[in-house]
Chain A
Amino acid sequence: MSFLHDLGRSTLQKVSSVGASSIMLFGALFAFPKWKNIKLTIEQMYVVGVQSLLIIMVSGLFIGMVMALQGYTILVNYGAEGSLGPMVALSILRELGPVVTALLFAGRAGSALTAEIGLMKATEQLSSLEMMAVDPLRRVISPRFWAGVISMPMLALIFSAVGILGGHVVGVDWLGVDSGSYWSIMQSTVEWNKDVVNGVIKSIVFALVVVWIALYKGYSCIPTSEGISKATTQTVVFSSLSILGLDFVLTALMFGIS
């Protein structure tokens, strides 16, 4: 009996937290065109985007280099090392770019957002905004939300570009693949609409999910040290799982069924 009771209660809690987070999301979405929020959004783009730039570029470089190295050792067996370019480019543009960027973003910026909002709640800053007749959804949540959603696809593009250049460094400069064929075969295989645009769409979807989870977890956390640390952990875990799960669904929709 008590098992059923618990099950019912936890289901109700889950459902109502989905509801609460959706209400928050809509509050944030529709607060965008209002007044000086643009400035606040730019400020947050600095925190969320610019400060993630280094980690994204370094990771992109190394992942591109590793892809080229691994790809070369396999392709050279078939004398197909000319296909190194498309292999590196396609795997980065379609998968690694959006996914790794989103995972790093969740760890770097998502957790920071949760902790920041959680602390603002714990120190009554959110409450005090409300008492000053300033809507915290509009003033605090919305700029962070939009900054995240704008920054992530940009970071993913930068990641992909740096990764492909990294592949060039290893493949062409170190392993001696012909530079012309690296670029030209890549260019004949990679399609703007299909590969690049789909990658960007993926990373926009990931951005929505990660930022949503991060902000909601911070906004709804129990305002104590344990509560904030738990919320931060949950942000990273939930975001990572959602990214990987959604990646499968999106890949199936975009590339799987032709």
Chain B
Amino acid sequence: MISKRTELWVGIFVALAIGAALLLALRVANQGMAGGGETYKLTARFDNIGGLKPRSSVKVGGVVVGRVSRIYLNEQDLVPMVELEISSEYEQTFPDTSSLSILTSGLLGEQFIGLQPGFIFPEDLEMIEEDGVCQSAPYENCPYLTEGEEIFDTKSALVLEDLIGQFLFNQGSD
């Protein structure tokens, strides 16, 4: 009842649709960070987050390693808290002395978080080797950033008004 021509055309149609989906998947969209890949969470406390938004990227020297998942206010101290999702690829990679700063790409570009990796003391490295603190669940003494850890060393976003105010203040005091 179904003619061969119809079957052929529907086949072509389906193939085209799959081709389109593949093009979108491979060349247009990035599945890396958002494609449900494994991540671990970090939190950071800032004084001012400027124009940072959920889903802004977290970069190390320009390489995207994660995204901002949530921004909320710490109700005790009334300072903004930022929750980050870092790809599990980079688990136990960044020392817990790493610092975060909010940067802007270009003059008008969007804001992102720059992660500046810290350093690890040689005796800590020995400790990892000997005690195995980074091998199982409570990573209390592990010198790397792990799930749920908070980063304290943060630099706030630059706010234009503050900069101008500071500049004028400095001018006046000279």
Using a CB–CB cutoff of 8 Å, the interface residues on chain A facing chain B are: 39, 42-43, 45-46, 49-50, 53, 78, 80, 89, 93, 151, 154-155, 157-158, 160-162, 164-165, 183, 186-196, 258
Contacts and interface: CB of A to CB of B under 8 A. Distances in A.
A192 B6 contact: no
Given A39-B2, A157-B17, A258-B54, A89 B28 contact: yes
Contact of A192 (B2, B7, B10, B35): B35
Given A42-B10, A188-B64, A154 B30 contact: no
B29 A161 contact: no
Chain A binding site: helix, strand, loop or mixed by DSSP? helix
B1 A187 contact: no
A196 B20 CA distance: 11
Contacts of B29: 187, 190-192, 195-196
B24 interface: yes
B68 to A, nearest CB: 11
B20 A160 contact: yes
A194 B36 CA distance: 11
Contacts of B1: 39, 43
A136 B101 CA distance: 66
Contacts of B19: 161
19 contacts: A39-B1, A42-B10, A43-B2, A46-B6, A46-B10, A53-B13, A80-B108, A93-B28, A154-B16, A157-B17, A157-B24, A161-B20, A183-B27, A186-B28, A188-B64, A192-B25, A192-B29, A193-B35, A195-B29
B73 interface: no
A132 B99 CA distance: 77
A70 to B, nearest CB: 19
Given A39-B2, A42-B10, A195-B29, 10 more contacts: A43-B1, A46-B9, A49-B13, A50-B10, A50-B12, A158-B16, A161-B19, A186-B28, A187-B28, A189-B30
B10 A45 contact: yes
Interface in B1-43: 1-2, 6-7, 9-10, 12-14, 16-17, 19-21, 23-25, 27-31, 33-36
Contact of B13 (A154, A161, A196): A154
Category for how many chain B residues contact A:
20 to 34
> Which 3 A-B residue pairings sit nearest by Cβ, starting from the closest?
A154-B17, A161-B20, A192-B29
Nearest to A155: B17
Contacts of B2: 39, 42-43
Contacts of A258: 53-55
Contacts of A53: 13, 16
